[in-house]
Structure 1
Amino acid sequence: MIETKVSKSELTDTIDLLIHNLTHLSDPTGEFSIKVGDGSIIDNKSFDYWEWTSGIGLYGMMKYYQLTRNQTVLDRIIKWYDDRFQEKPVEKNINTMVQMLTLAYLYEETGNKKYLPYLRSWGDWLYHDLPRTERGGFQHVTFGDLHPNQMWADTLMMSVLTILKLGKLLHKDEYVEEAKKQVLLHTEFLQDRSTGLWYHGWTFEKRNNFAGAFWGRGNSWISIAFPEILTLLDLPKDDAFRKFMIMNLQYQFDALEKYQADSGLWHTLVDDPSSYVEGSATAGFTYGILKAGHEHYIEGTNYRQMGLKGLRGLLDNIDDEGALAHVSAGTPMGETKDFYKHIKISVMPYGQSMAILALTEYLKEFY
């Protein structure tokens, strides 16, 4: 049996360190910036920049606040949005949409009506104006690149979970149904039937899954998003859609159990032990496994032990400054599996946040 041997105070101290590190991240040299298709330079590392990387960071902070009611954390989230809304409006795309997920919870918490126009306009854009792939999937539009006819695993976390939350918040049933449709479409084209793992992407242009890579962080977006979506939908236990999601989530978890390293971490290519171990994927898997157990979507001590082993691995790889190790930098679609093995490693906002999510989910057991 895995024993975590960690106290409530140790957990909160570690999460506070993770948040401090997260909120002070920047990239003054531009080493981790990405030049996109239209020539723009996108800052993937700095917290005070509107991109999915910081958006995931905000979500982890919000989850921690909801549990602990730590006002300092809430104030920092509010400041992030206040500062960004003073800047030039950001481009709407699949990835920048994830900021609306935390903003929806922030609106529920504060009742500040100045957030509503943003929530409504971004939700309207996603539902009506986002390009669709063949068969109606959310096209993975990002800064500087439309990625025509492409579906990516990342989309479930960045935009599908977001439109579901907006549908619930704004009482738009069509958003809720769209989210369910996107879950079905992405499962059909991205989950591997023989293993239960998920491919990074699918292209209708070439009719393939690009490199056929079971990319770690891409898989972890599913591990996070599926339990989150199930909780938001709150469907009856005998509902067929609920059963479908739980079945496929368990299918993924069963595969993950085979590939977890002795350290508790998973590899950046889940099924390839020659690829480096990766912290953000491990955090996402750990969160999803623990949350699915807490919500009784999965049962069995093997899942519990897998989640606790992942938690131990994370704690062993967070340093005294609150930095999670072994986190791969921003990763576009790879055409070869080898591509994923050479992505740089650094401290990144989403790695910090995904660790916050995992530790916060375990922290629930002390409340």
Structure 2
Amino acid sequence: MEQHDWEKGCAINGLHAVDLHEEETRYLVDRSIETQTTDGQLTYGSLGLTPYGWEPDWAGDKNEYKSYADPVVPGHGVLEYYDRTGEEYYLDAARKQYEQLRSIETTEDGGIPISRGEKELLLDSLYHFAPFMARYGQLADEPDAIDEAVFQIKVHADRCHDPFSGLYRQGWRESPNSFAQGTFWSRGVAWLTTAIVATLPYVPEDHDGYDDLVEILQNVCETVLEYQDDSGFWHNTIDDETSPLEASGTLMFVYTFEEGIEQGVLDKDTFGEPSQRAMNVCKGLVNSQGGVRRVAVVPGGPEAPLGVALHGQGFFLLAASYFL
């Protein structure tokens, strides 16, 4: 797992949700701090695209890909251990990572781009850094960090929203003004929904942006329901019934629905049964080694091959934690 960055972070989040492999999980978090770069990026900085044997045209040259957002995901675990232990070691590491994010040159409307090079806002980034920022703000008593988390979700959502379908494209490019990856990819939409439900617990309900986030969440979740397949899955391209039924987006919607229901921002009568159907069908995907099959592998997208990947396992555990 150590060769990964954001995928490892998703797996750590899943393991924390079900209280498994504590020793190994803390080792991975501590190792992410030990390999924090001079400018504050955790887990060796960006490791680039993980080699799964394919590379889509839109991903560019992986040798030039240096993500700002991907190394932040293990930071969720860093803050979890600060919350548990109170050790300043963890808060100091989180502070460096937060300050690095705030140092990045943004788009004209203030969005933090996912990587160096062209300024692109990808919904992936939101799960990567918005919950981290908001929780850091709460734990460090820095309300500006909570404000920034809310602002980033709103900027990314505004740029990627399709007003005709109510869905969200995965990414937007500032120059030229265009969609970096224009399909309605299920995991792309789910990055937005998971980011919101993971951020809301750290945003005061009287915050100016709280109701805005809830409204975005409710609207997109209601739209997503229209596309659920009778099997319980969602398709990899959410509005294309000829695309494969895919696990990671499906599990991320389960996590979204269950966490939203628990927070009281999503209606159980509306979302509970679709969530249960999705979880039931995903149970059959776990192989004898614990891998979760039918996951669109990194970097994802509409043409991604399906296989086994850490983020699939992480979101399976996050989703399953509500059914234990």
Q: CA, structure 1 residues 84+207, in 2 after alignment: closer, same or farther (shift >3 Å)?
A: closer
Does the 8 Å contact 2:146/2:202 carry over to 1?
no
TM score, norm. by length of structure 2: 0.86
Letter in 2 for 1:103: V
Distance in 2 (CA, whole Å) between partners of 1:232 and 1:82 is 24
Q: 1:277-302: CA deviations, max 9, x gaps?
A: 11111100011011111211022523
The residue aligned with 1:3 is none
Distance in 1 (CA, whole Å) between partners of 2:167 and 2:81 is 33
**3-state SS of 1:259 partner:** coil
Q: CA, structure 1 residues 58+123, in 2 after alignment: closer, same or farther (shift >3 Å)?
A: same
Q: CA, structure 1 residues 206+318, in 2 after alignment: closer, same or farther (shift >3 Å)?
A: same
Distance in 2 (CA, whole Å) between partners of 1:211 and 1:157 is 18
Q: 1:65-116: CA deviations, max 9, x gaps?
A: 2xxxx5xx22221111334445574226211011111110111112333223
Tell me which of 120, 125, 136 is aligned to 2:110.
136
Does the 8 Å contact 1:196/1:248 carry over to 2?
no
The residue aligned with 1:196 is 166
Tell me which of 71, 81, 86 is aligned to 1:96.
71
TM score, norm. by length of structure 1: 0.76
Tell me which of 100, 103, 106 is aligned to 1:125.
100
Letter in 2 for 1:114: Y
Letter in 2 for 1:361: Y
**3-state SS of 1:274 partner:** coil
Letter in 1 for 2:79: A
Aligned-pair CA distance for 1:241: 2.5
Does the 8 Å contact 2:15/2:25 carry over to 1?
yes
Does the 8 Å contact 1:290/1:362 carry over to 2?
no
Tell me which of 160, 180, 183 is aligned to 1:210.
180
Unaligned regions of 5+ residues in structure 1, if any? 1-46, 333-339
Aligned-pair CA distance for 1:212: 2.1
Distance in 2 (CA, whole Å) between partners of 1:314 and 1:254 is 21
The residue aligned with 1:55 is 9
Letter in 2 for 1:172: E
Letter in 1 for 2:134: L
The residue aligned with 1:21 is none
The residue aligned with 1:251 is 219
The residue aligned with 2:273 is 305
The residue aligned with 1:242 is 210
> Could you say what the CA RMSD is over the residues aligned between the two structures, in angstroms?
1.9
Give 4+ residue runs of structure 1 displaced > 3 Å after superposition.
82-89
Does the 8 Å contact 2:161/2:167 carry over to 1?
yes
Distance in 2 (CA, whole Å) between partners of 1:216 and 1:95 is 19
Aligned-pair CA distance for 1:316: 2.2
Q: Which has the larger radius of gyration?
A: 1
Structure with bigger RCO (C-alpha 8 Å, 6+ apart): 1
Letter in 1 for 2:158: E
Does the 8 Å contact 1:134/1:149 carry over to 2?
no
Unaligned regions of 5+ residues in structure 2, if any? 38-43, 47-67
Does the 8 Å contact 1:126/1:163 carry over to 2?
no
